[in-house]
Amino acid sequence: MSATPMQVLARPFAIEPVTNIMLPDGIFDNALYNLRIACQYTNLSSAELTNVSLYLESVGDPGIASVARTFHFSSIPAGAAVQVMWDADFKNATPGKRLVSFLAKADGFESNRTIQQIFVSQTRFNSTTNTYTCTVEEGTLTVSNISAIVQKPGWGRDRDGKCECLPTTGPWVPTGMTLAWASNPAFAGVHGDLPFSDPWWKILAIIVAILAAIVAIVAAVLGAGTVSFGASGTFEETDPSVTCCTPDVGAGPKKEFTVAGVASAIATVAAAVALSDAADPFWRGQEKTPPTAGELTIGEKVVAKWSLPDPPNPGKPYTAVVNRVYVHVTSAV
């Protein structure tokens, strides 16, 4: 018998189960203890497969505890893909690249194993300095001065002219942040290692922004023991006409918090846009400030501020007016 022609073709990804928010680029952050390991399983054959079972076999970190579960499909058409996901506890996960294996078995075929890679980051919040640090093997990204607005006057009004969203619960739309990258170790030359040797540094900033938006929501719904930190008072007001706010974890689960948190997480896409959709601001800064021979890059900082004249609606183009400053710190300074 030949192997079942089902494979996971793209990197598995994380889904936060309370909000159903997906973290980008296959990054799983252990600030959220409960995450789902999700993947798209594709029938690569030209024929329908019957009586298909799919399960997660193993994760390459004993600190990640997945719950065994087998998904059964009576049939999967030729070329079709199904999405499956498994609950896992990332509380004791170690930052780094980890392998994950999945098995597929269909009638008339032997089981077939797919091995893919996921990325694990570790974000923590310092309430004293109001900063987030996101640690990966290649270095640490510190995110501070996250500014956000709840809603710009004129956005989000219903037919009666009232605000659709409660001004005390968000959603928050980020309008700026300061990013400081400390490479591990200091590096010579123009460019250092990308996080996980793959995504741009700004993706870590997006992870932080998403966590800032939903961590308190998850804690409010599931209890404080389900995340590594709360997120009170983390945003700075940038528009005196609106009220910036964060949910109170002690207030208990409220539907509007979840809705606002999800909307806030979606709005963090604005940060991705503002930090450039093409080359990353760190990458651009490195190209503009090449170190001389013998210099090592010790740290880099990007201060980004942006305004959004138009509502940032997912799926629709919108304008962002962006100002970025890159600071390159080398051993020669």
Nearer to another protein, 45 or 66 (CB): 66
Amino acid at residue number 97? K
Residue 66 within binding range of another protein, rule CB under 8 A? yes
For Cα atoms 136, 237, 267, give the angle at the middle one, nearest 5 degrees: 55
Amino acid at residue number 281? P
Binding mask 91-120 for another protein (x = CB under 8 A): -------xxxx-x-x-----x-x-x-----
Minimum Å gap between C-beta 62 and another protein is 5
Question: What is the spatial distance between Cα 82 and Cα 15, in angstroms, rounded to a whole number?
Answer: 16
Residue 1 within binding range of another protein, rule CB under 8 A? no
Question: What is the spatial distance between Cα 185 and Cα 60, in angstroms, rounded to a whole number?
Answer: 24
Q: For the segment 181-240, give every residue that binds another protein (CB under 8 A).
A: none
Minimum Å gap between C-beta 96 and another protein is 11
Single out the segment in contact with another protein by CB under 8 A; choices: 67-75, 135-143, 153-161, 163-171. 67-75
Length of the chain: 333
Residue 293 within binding range of another protein, rule CB under 8 A? no
Say which residue the tokens 């505890």 belong to. Answer: 65
Total residues contacting another protein by CB under 8 A comes to 22
Question: What is the spatial distance between Cα 169 and Cα 189, in angstroms, rounded to a whole number?
Answer: 46
Of 115, 110, 109, give the one whose Cα is nearest residue 47.
109
Amino acid at residue number 50? T
Q: For the segment 2-61, give every residue that binds another protein (CB under 8 A).
A: 53, 55-61
Angle between helices 201-222 and 281-288 (to 10 degrees): 150
Nearer to another protein, 62 or 309 (CB): 62
How many CB atoms are closer than 10 A to CB 79?
A: 12
Minimum Å gap between C-beta 86 and another protein is 9
Residue 70 within binding range of another protein, rule CB under 8 A? yes
State the residues that interact with another protein by CB under 8 A.
Answer: 53, 55-62, 66, 68-70, 98-101, 103, 105, 111, 113, 115
